[in-house]
Amino acid sequence: MRQAWVAEGECSCPLVDSKRTPPFFCNCSVGYQKESFETVFGRPVQAALKASKLGGSKRCTFEVTLS
C-alpha cells in the first residue's frame, strides 16, 4: 500500500463562497481526487479529506492511498 498527501493552496471549486459554504461541502472534492488519481494510475485508489480551507486550514489536504 502506498500513500500520498495532496495539498491545494487555492480553492479552485467554482461553487464555493468562503462566507456561506459549510466545511462539509469540501467532501465533494474527495471524489475529484479519487477519479483523477485512478485515471493517472489506471487502478482503484482511496481518497480522504484531511483538512480544508473552509474548515480553517491554510490549504486543502487529501490523503490518497494506492493499494
pLDDT at 20: 86
pLDDT at 2: 79
Residue 14 lies in a domain: no
Residue 16 lies in a domain: no
pLDDT at 28: 85
Residue 53 lies in a domain: yes
Which element (helix H / strand E) includes 36?
helix 28-41
Residue 17 lies in a domain: no
| Mean pLDDT (10-residue bins), the chain, 67 residues | 75 77 86 93 94 88 89
pLDDT at 64: 93
pLDDT at 54: 86
Domain that holds residue 48: 2-9+24-66
pLDDT at 13: 76
Residue 19 lies in a domain: no
pLDDT at 18: 72
Residues 6 or more apart from 18 whose CB is under 8 A from it? Answer: 11, 53, 54
Q: How far is CA 41 from the centre of its chain?
A: 17
Distance (Å, rounded) from C-alpha 15 to C-alpha 8? 16
Number of structural domains the chain divides into:
1
